[in-house]
Amino acid sequence: MTTDIHGAPAASSEPAGLGVAVVGGGYWGPNLVRNFQASESFELRWMCDLRIERAQRALGRYSTVTATDDYARVLADPQVAAVAIATPAATHRDLALAALRAGKHVLVEKPLAAGYAEGRELVEAAEERGLILMCDHTYCYTPAVTYIRDLIASGELGDLHFLDSVRINLGLVQPDVDVLWDLAPHDLSILDFILPPGMAPLSVAAHGADPIGAGRACVGYLTLNLTGGAIAHFHVNWLSPSKVRTTMIGGSKRTLLWDDLNPTQRIAVFDRGVDLTPPAQLSEQTRREMQISYRSGDMVAPALAEREALRTMVEAFATAINTGTPPPTDGRAGLRVVDILESASRSLELDGAPVALQGTKGTSS
């Protein structure tokens, strides 16, 4: 193949994987380029960006992949089976919809779209055409999050009571979205991934602040009410002098703590908690006599394999295309996250009043 921006990739006589193009050479695009090039399931054919020099820089000096600033030429290439979009959220709908209409499978960087209606349009377009639409919720492909999901599914934690997440750091203040739309998609996608069947968010209340005058919330708090009375709380912050990435999940049997910045002990499972032991008769009098006891059992820190989540995500994309089976973070998973984000924005406008999710109103399956 050639790097001439006026040429097209030459056909190869050697067996190749699925032809793929990466669109967007900014922060995340080079990571996708690296992982698609390392995958035996894909053949990276194009790197597309509005600025040709940025596309070339994302590929590296010695790449034989074609760099271009012409998205239409990418979509016209019959050997491109899939397009990976890593551009600002406001552009996701138009770029992804054009790719779907051209018959391409689509991977979209988080969030899926800039709003619920746009995300739903993409989901419907993909389903109508029998194409894979996948959201790059990378954290869902980490060994830690996979372990958490499996542990919850096994019943080891018991019934879920609460989830508390902190994702804070210093910068980067984004020019186009607030801190909720920038950082919270990571944790909301994890929540969507690990919740057991039958449990889902019902409403969200959001509070935010802009103490530096950036014109958008730089500190945010989300509280979600879940099916069955459980609660989930998220703290996201661009202004913290220290970086924290922790999630605590409390169940009726055990509590799990995930510290993503601690490579020697990312997960700890505590057999510690509070038990309520009511008397046999639950009259008004006996309710006042309920006994509270405290468990203080062992802590277990499981050994987790270390592997790059983005590489796993890329292979999940290939598997979905080859089998026609929706990936774990398909378009509908991405839509559920956008539902929460858009409802959270509405809650901010209402000074923190709870807002029901659109998916709970019968507008999403």
Q: What is the pLDDT of residue 161?
A: 96
The 10s digit of each residue's pLDDT in 82-114 is: 999 999 999 999 999 999 999 999 999 999 999
- Cβ neighbours for 82, distance < 8 A, ≥ 6 positions apart: 18, 19, 20, 21, 42, 104, 105, 106, 107, 132, 317, 321
Pair of tokens at residue 142 = 């980490």
CATH topology of domain 18-137: Rossmann fold (3.40.50)
- Cross-sheet strand order for the sheet of 231-237: 291-300, 267-277, 255-259, 239-251, 160-170, 231-237, 219-226, 201-209, 355-356
The 10s digit of each residue's pLDDT in 15-67 is: 479 999 999 999 999 999 999 999 999 999 999 999 999 999 999 887 889 99
One fold for 18-137 and 140-311+337-361 = no
Q: What is the pLDDT of residue 126?
A: 98
Pair of tokens at residue 218 = 């730089």
Residues of the chain with pLDDT under 70: 1-15, 273-295, 360-365
Q: How far apart are CA 362 and CA 42, in angstroms?
A: 38
Q: What is the pLDDT of residue 13?
A: 42
Q: Are 225 and 233 in contact (CB under 8 A)?
A: no
3-state secondary structure of 308: coil
Q: What is the pLDDT of residue 288?
A: 56
Q: Are 339 and 364 in contact (CB under 8 A)?
A: yes
Peptide bond preceding 15 in cis form (omega within 30 of 0): no
Homologous superfamily assigned to 140-311+337-361: Dihydrodipicolinate Reductase; domain 2 (3.30.360.10)
Q: What is the pLDDT of residue 283?
A: 60
φ, ψ of residue 270 in degrees (nearest 5): -105, 125
- Cβ neighbours for 326, distance < 8 A, ≥ 6 positions apart: 132, 320, 332
Q: How far apart are CA 216 and CA 205, in angstroms?
A: 17
Q: What is the pLDDT of residue 362?
A: 40
Compute how many other C-beta atoms are within 10 angstroms of the C-beta atom of residue 169.
16
Q: Are 226 and 202 in contact (CB under 8 A)?
A: yes
Q: How far apart are the first and last CA of the chain?
A: 43
Q: What is the pLDDT of residue 284?
A: 60
Q: Are 315 and 119 in contact (CB under 8 A)?
A: no
What residue ranges do the domains of the chain occupy?
Answer: 18-137, 140-311+337-361
Q: Are 343 and 204 in contact (CB under 8 A)?
A: yes
Pair of tokens at residue 257 = 């703590």
Query: Is the pTM of the predicted complex or chain greater than 0.95?
Result: no
